[in-house]
Structure 1
Amino acid sequence: MSDLIADLPKGPLTPFRETATFDWKALKVHLEGEESIKFKNEVYAVLSRDPIFARDFSRPSTDEYREINHKRWKAVLEHQFIDDFFAELERTQDLLEILETYDQGLSGRYALHANVFFSAILTIGTERHAEILEKRETMRLEPWPHSTRENSSSPLHTMEQSSVGLGISLNQPLTRWCSLVRDPNNYRSLPGITIGDMGTKPGVWDGVENGWMSFSNHRAPLWTLLNKGCDVTESGEYKSAYSSSRERQSVSLGSLSAGRIGIVAKGANACRLAATIAIRYSCARHQFGEKPGSDNERAVITYPLQRHRLFPILAQAYVIRLYQSKLMNHFREYMMRMVGGEKSPELAELSKEVHGLSSCTKPLATWMGVAALGEARTCCGGHGFLQSSRLNNLRDDFDPSQTFEGENNVLLQQTSNWLVAKKAAGGDLKSPMGTTDFLVDGGALVDGPVVRRVLGAYTWLVHHLIAKTEMRHKELKAQGKSSFDVKNESQIYTAHTLSIAYGERVMLSWAQAFVDDAPIAFKSVLQRLVNIFALDRIEKHLSTLYIGGFCSGGSFGEWVRNTLIDEETLLAPDAISLVDVIAPPDFVLNSALGSSDGRAYEHLMAEFRRHTDKRTPFWGDLATFLHHKQQSKL
């Protein structure tokens, strides 16, 4: 096992590791698999030796950051970690995970160049785009392919300045297309196209060029239209393979979820990094005690409140990761069927389910992730504020995930719309992935293990919120409200909360299914993590459960809170080893507080000493000012 996973250095964290009730290396292999760990080790080794990936805690300018990001992107390609992105999907995901934890700006540049464009052409392009795919697969950066249809074209115009969009001059739905926008010889924008940058951004995203684009009489050849499902003839006639806009939207829903499913992993990574840095630091950080004196100081991790703040984050890191992995497997299967041309009713239902599920769990995961980094930063006290902790930077880095691929609160409306419509249809409430099967039952207050009791509460809660949302819809319709206003005015405490409850229930049930199948050696510690996740999430719904009549008196609420505290206490001996399972190498983590050796103070002082005996650049102006002030007093 040591050949696959290196031993961790001895130091202040060693006593905390010695209390673990499980083999952390064996659990890591169980979660990730040997092939994944071997591949990641190879990538880590290469990157750590490449000078372009060396970094400190200084902050480059926007131009400097974009240039180094570009050079790192080139280096990743030149190292050829992946031969075929889509034939090696699991290794591609491993590489993206490494780049995500190293620098999201780099992973964003890599994914956009390597996968997003290619995926769009693969899924909604046709045979006429084969030459583009072939060039992409072989990474040949050659001029854009020519086509016998190049003279057939349609002008593109910006629709309105306020929403710098683009549309083909046909009275038909907005369609997707691929076309050059810059001259490959000099990289200037082509005639009729204006391209601009959005300016400076927080965090690592300042190293990525986000831009805007407008069109004025730019002619795009018709072959650039991605025409799986729709096309335009050379005479200008629009043709669609779908009988209605509803059918077209239904089929495309699933493919729209690709980005959101990927962003769910950002939430897992944010929780993972937050837990790693803050829990390791909390073990190394000692303060106060029953008696004065340094000999009586306690590790901060022994404080119940510190555990209560951090252990739910650790649980979220595991649960979101388990959930996202399973959802990604379902999505890959769905995309294979889509690419194969299947158009079955079951696939259409799966498309809706994937869309509904990704639309609520992407917000949940990213909200948890950003909140986790904020909580971790304050859990580390004043040292958490420092650049060398990396926590503030990470929070900035993950912040835009809350609005990527749709603003979170708006996305939740997609889920509630689907759930309410499915219940109102009165047909089979079961779904291809099984995430709505529980709607067949009503949910009730039950006894038994923690997760069984919490799932029962969630089942009741989702039913209750569907009913409340439907009731609100009827009230608003009776007032003569439009369909838009009905949905818009039924979000607070009803539809919005419904989507959250449904997403949390699916995350919990899928994580529990993983624990049920886990080897006995890990079952207990994994169950404790899932219990903490379950109790921490349902605790936030206690007011709705009581108001709605699911429970009365204080017993259920007290059970939730007291059991959560008990589970956190029982998890304490395993906490640091659970962190070790999911923590990236120190080279990637790049945090003075979260190093695997636990020597936070030594790493902090090393960074402090880099700035020793430096005069401020404006020392002369300060000296002159103070001298004049002194002279004026005399």
Structure 2
Amino acid sequence: MIDSKFHQVSNTQEFNKYENINNEVFLNKDIFPDLHLLDGPLKVYRSKATFDWRKMRLIFDTLQSWELKFKIWNFIKNNEIFDQSIETLPIDEQRKISNQRMFAVINAKLLTIEEYLRNPELSPKFFSAFGVYDANITGKVLIAFYMFPKVIQSLGNKSVKNLVMETQELKNIGCFALIEFAHGSNTQGMKTTATYEPLTKSFVLNTPNFEAAKCWIGNLGKSATHAIVYAQLYTNDGKCHGLNAFVVPLRDSKTHLTFPGVTIGDMGEKISINGIDNGFLIFNNYKIPKSNLLSKTGDIDDDGNFITQFKDPKKRMGLSFAMLSEGRVGICEFTTSYGVSAISIAIRYSASRKQFGPDDTNIEFPVIEYQSQQYRLIRHLANIFAIKFFSNWIAKECAKIVIKGFSGEKISTESGMEMHAISSAGKPVCGWITRDCIQDCREACGGHGYLKCARLGDLRNYNDPNLTYEGENNVLIQQASNFLISIREKGWNAFENASPLETAAFLKDGEEILKSKWKWTKVECAMKPENQLQTLNFIVAFLLEKTFKLRNLLKSLGQSTFDARNNSQVFHANLLAVAYAHRQIYVTFLAEVQKLPDSSPEQEILTKLLSMFGANLISTFYMNVLYESGFVTSINACELLQTGILQLLPIIKDQSIALVDAIAPPDYILNSPLGMSDGEVYKHLENFIYQSPDTFTRPSWWRDIVYKEKYLGLSKL
């Protein structure tokens, strides 16, 4: 019995609307090109597909999402400013080009700030569509022209809202200054101060030392004119009122020089995404008007007193940071888009690349025909489908909360806390899944995968900062485990009302779940989604109870709450949070599969992918938990799952090209000779390599090769 009630709006509604293949929607050849007409190595695999990849595309994303993505991709295709260089450019040139692209995007009004605020569910897709081509664009545009004005619009008073219009008119470039060199996740420890001066009705900003300098500020190093700065607010009586947000002008709009009292520095070269100019910021008695305080959460009255409607400082700061909390949800989409591109490249390459064959023939097989290649890629294909469905779900749920906030409708505390918890676990897990996917894809493509033009290295580097953006992952997941344990302290029944999004509502039956056992003796039973879900339910419940009891034990031995939390992370709370995210990812995948017409080709292949995802998840991460807990007593439980995986590999292999066709961006966005939709790897590889300006030239240092004696110790000089 599947213990779940799914209420999210489903992409499968789009599928059901367009189930008739003759519907004119499929005449849009941008979104639904005639891939089946392409000749080449991939044709044989496309002919094996049992489903129509175009229908699958409407399950994976809504038609509205695809139309938005192709609007962006065609904009990129038709603007020469977006042409990619064959070689890595100097950093200053990268930043110059990124700045030009940023202005081009905003000037095109592809997504206005009004549309962004009205339809927050689509915004992650908008930015990920840019990001999969060039992650620099996503970072610069999102920060400067969407998040910056959005926070001002949400938290500021009338006197600063003119900055919203000026930003839309490209007069300002915004950024966010929150973390400091010595403090990131611990916001309470930040040292930048804003002291109110009643005589001048202004705030005086100061940075006490370099450790307190604001850092990693995207757009600040070379381009930003304004920042939203988070500083400790002090009133004239010397009392601190915690972190508050201020709009701070930084550079003169005519000279682009910093104002007196402001010091801006560049963070220097990064591993990647160097088109974004991250900087650091230092204040020295820098004054800003009183009106520049974003005062929705707290203000200064005429007598210089701090006033706020929030008695609890944590709740006040929670609202102040609420506009930034969507970042974790957006990252789920961004990181998924990188995984989509990587798996598309690797699977298409593997179906085109031939190597080895029977010893007594001259026949070579595509490497995707080999079991080891299938396992290393198809499990990642299942993972990417899973996190894509999850990123769709969490974006929709978050959008509901955001829309309520903007409309003035009351947001339940439970919804806000649960969204914080599942995004704090989901963002790290999505990032880790994509990280592992890209690395395996790079290796699966062999030496060719190491070429820059293959783009797998770029995708790996694009995804890398997602593991620390919006909170370092291993710190962030603690928010999820703390959420679960705080409810458990009230009893299992408390989960029923504490989980309106239903990510943890199943735990209301925690006592019964913990009594359940692995009772499956056949492969087909172990691979059934409802049985895999029952297993995942048990894993979360067991890890929660195990962690809860350990913390109570540590407290009974005299440890403080802080120490008890700290000493129950490894093997307990961390694994609990990851399992919580894994289960919800599985549930969102299952929900979409259940909504499809029974026994339809699309439901059948997605069910196999879901079973692959669940079996690999359980056998890779949790078998030791299942044996330790006593849930599994049969010695062959792991073997059943592994056998099921091996049985699915050749079946999904035959469908893998069509599955990739359903999710891959167009060739000019994928931009990899290994992953083009026609599968003509060597033709495209030749073109890419020949385009390099130095492919056939003599090096400028050729004399060092010819006259090498002085480097070999043979020179008489």
Give the TM-score of the pair, scaled to structure 2: 0.83
Residue matched to 1:78: 107
AA of the residue aligned to 2:143: L
Aligned pairs, how many?
Answer: 624
Query: Distance between the aligned counterparts of 2:123 and 2:322, measured in 1?
Result: 21
Q: Does the 8 Å contact 2:252/2:258 carry over to 1?
A: yes
Which piece of structure 1 moves more, 84-93 or 608-617? 84-93
- Asked if 1:108 corresponds to 2:139, the answer is yes
Q: Does the 8 Å contact 2:297/2:319 carry over to 1?
A: no
Q: Does the 8 Å contact 2:709/2:715 carry over to 1?
A: no
Which piece of structure 1 moves more, 12-21 or 424-433? 424-433
Which of 494, 505, 514 is the matching residue for 1:428?
494
Report 1:6-85 matches (<5 A): 6-8=33-35, 9-83=38-112, 84-85=115-116
Query: Distance between the aligned counterparts of 2:384 and 2:350, measured in 1?
Result: 18
Q: List gaps (5 residues or longer) in structure 1.
A: none
Summarize the Cα distance change of 1:299–1:150 in structure 2 as closer, same or farther, 3 Å threshold: farther
Which of 355, 361, 366 is the matching residue for 1:299?
366
AA of the residue aligned to 2:145: A
Secondary structure of the residue aligned to 1:173 is strand
Which of 616, 628, 633 is the matching residue for 2:699?
616
Report 1:539-550 matches (<5 A): 539=619, 540-550=621-631
Residue matched to 2:294: 226
User: Residue 305 of structure 1: CA displacement?
Assistant: 1.1
Residue matched to 2:267: 198
Residue matched to 1:141: 171
1:253-272 CA-partner distances (Å, limit 9, x unpaired) = 75442100101112211221
Q: Does the 8 Å contact 1:82/1:91 carry over to 2?
A: no
AA of the residue aligned to 1:510: T
User: Residue 306 of structure 1: CA displacement?
Assistant: 0.8
User: Residue 201 of structure 1: CA displacement?
Assistant: 0.9
Which of 367, 383, 389 is the matching residue for 2:432?
367
User: Residue 333 of structure 1: CA displacement?
Assistant: 1.1
AA of the residue aligned to 1:115: Y
Residue matched to 2:150: 119
Which piece of structure 1 moves more, 306-315 or 438-447? 438-447
Query: Distance between the aligned counterparts of 1:355 and 1:246, measured in 2?
Result: 14
Residue matched to 1:498: 576
Residue matched to 1:390: 455
Residue matched to 1:358: 423
Residue matched to 1:131: 162
Residue matched to 1:98: 129
Which piece of structure 1 moves more, 619-628 or 357-366? 619-628
Query: Distance between the aligned counterparts of 1:341 and 1:506, measured in 2?
Result: 29
AA of the residue aligned to 2:76: L
Secondary structure of the residue aligned to 1:614 is coil
Secondary structure of the residue aligned to 2:495 is coil
Residue matched to 2:201: 152
Summarize the Cα distance change of 1:73–1:334 in structure 2 as closer, same or farther, 3 Å threshold: same
User: Residue 325 of structure 1: CA displacement?
Assistant: 1.2
Q: Does the 8 Å contact 2:373/2:444 carry over to 1?
A: yes
Summarize the Cα distance change of 1:154–1:628 in structure 2 as closer, same or farther, 3 Å threshold: closer
Q: Does the 8 Å contact 1:289/1:298 carry over to 2?
A: yes
Q: Does the 8 Å contact 1:257/1:354 carry over to 2?
A: no
Residue matched to 2:602: 522
AA of the residue aligned to 1:3: N
Query: Aligned-residue CA RMSD in angstroms?
Result: 2.4
Residue matched to 2:613: 533
Query: Distance between the aligned counterparts of 1:89 and 1:628, measured in 2?
Result: 62
1:402-443 CA-partner distances (Å, limit 9, x unpaired) = 000110000011111110001102352121101111102233
User: Residue 380 of structure 1: CA displacement?
Assistant: 0.5
Query: Distance between the aligned counterparts of 2:406 and 2:73, measured in 1?
Result: 34
Report 1:151-170 matches (<5 A): 152-165=201-214, 166-170=231-235
Query: Distance between the aligned counterparts of 1:313 and 1:143, measured in 2?
Result: 39
Query: Distance between the aligned counterparts of 2:199 and 2:149, measured in 1?
Result: 21
User: Residue 498 of structure 1: CA displacement?
Assistant: 0.2
Query: Distance between the aligned counterparts of 2:442 and 2:270, measured in 1?
Result: 21
Q: Does the 8 Å contact 1:12/1:598 carry over to 2?
A: yes
Q: Does the 8 Å contact 1:135/1:141 carry over to 2?
A: yes
1:466-500 CA-partner distances (Å, limit 9, x unpaired) = 12212221232234333222211111100000000
More helix by share: 1
Q: Does the 8 Å contact 1:253/1:355 carry over to 2?
A: no
Q: Does the 8 Å contact 1:528/1:571 carry over to 2?
A: yes
Which piece of structure 1 moves more, 401-410 or 158-167? 158-167
Which piece of structure 1 moves more, 498-507 or 225-234? 225-234
Residue matched to 1:452: 530
1:141-175 CA-partner distances (Å, limit 9, x unpaired) = 2799xxxx995211111144223244333411111
Which piece of structure 1 moves more, 608-617 or 404-413? 608-617
Query: Distance between the aligned counterparts of 2:710 and 2:458, measured in 1?
Result: 39
- Asked if 1:625 corresponds to 2:708, the answer is yes
- Asked if 1:590 corresponds to 2:671, the answer is yes
Query: Distance between the aligned counterparts of 2:409 and 2:125, measured in 1?
Result: 29
Residue matched to 1:326: 393
Query: Distance between the aligned counterparts of 1:604 and 1:140, measured in 2?
Result: 40
Residue matched to 2:5: none
- Asked if 1:271 corresponds to 2:349, the answer is no
- Asked if 1:317 corresponds to 2:395, the answer is no
1:299-352 CA-partner distances (Å, limit 9, x unpaired) = 1101111111111211122111111111111111111222333446xx111110
Which piece of structure 1 moves more, 589-598 or 464-473? 464-473
- Asked if 1:554 corresponds to 2:635, the answer is yes
AA of the residue aligned to 2:603: K
**Identity rate, percent:** 30
Query: Distance between the aligned counterparts of 1:189 and 1:20, measured in 2?
Result: 60
Q: List gaps (5 residues or longer) in structure 2.
A: 1-25, 175-197, 215-230
Secondary structure of the residue aligned to 1:67 is helix
1:267-290 CA-partner distances (Å, limit 9, x unpaired) = 211221111010000001111111
Summarize the Cα distance change of 1:142–1:466 in structure 2 as closer, same or farther, 3 Å threshold: closer
Residue matched to 2:544: 466
Which piece of structure 1 moves more, 468-477 or 319-328? 468-477
Which of 663, 683, 688 is the matching residue for 1:607?
688
Residue matched to 2:12: none
AA of the residue aligned to 2:408: G
Give the TM-score of the pair, scaled to structure 1: 0.93
Summarize the Cα distance change of 1:583–1:323 in structure 2 as closer, same or farther, 3 Å threshold: same
Query: Distance between the aligned counterparts of 2:360 and 2:308, measured in 1?
Result: 78
Query: Distance between the aligned counterparts of 2:71 and 2:464, measured in 1?
Result: 30
Q: Does the 8 Å contact 2:533/2:587 carry over to 1?
A: yes
- Asked if 1:215 corresponds to 2:298, the answer is no
Summarize the Cα distance change of 1:428–1:531 in structure 2 as closer, same or farther, 3 Å threshold: same
Residue matched to 2:223: none
AA of the residue aligned to 1:405: E
Q: Does the 8 Å contact 1:36/1:94 carry over to 2?
A: yes
Report 1:227-242 matches (<5 A): 227-242=295-310
User: Residue 592 of structure 1: CA displacement?
Assistant: 1.3
Query: Distance between the aligned counterparts of 1:446 and 1:211, measured in 2?
Result: 57
Query: Distance between the aligned counterparts of 2:170 and 2:356, measured in 1?
Result: 62
Which of 254, 275, 282 is the matching residue for 2:350?
282
Secondary structure of the residue aligned to 1:432 is coil
AA of the residue aligned to 1:565: L
Q: Does the 8 Å contact 1:592/1:604 carry over to 2?
A: yes
- Asked if 1:341 corresponds to 2:341, the answer is no
Secondary structure of the residue aligned to 2:602 is helix
Secondary structure of the residue aligned to 2:249 is coil
Residue matched to 1:569: 650
Which piece of structure 1 moves more, 490-499 or 419-428? 419-428
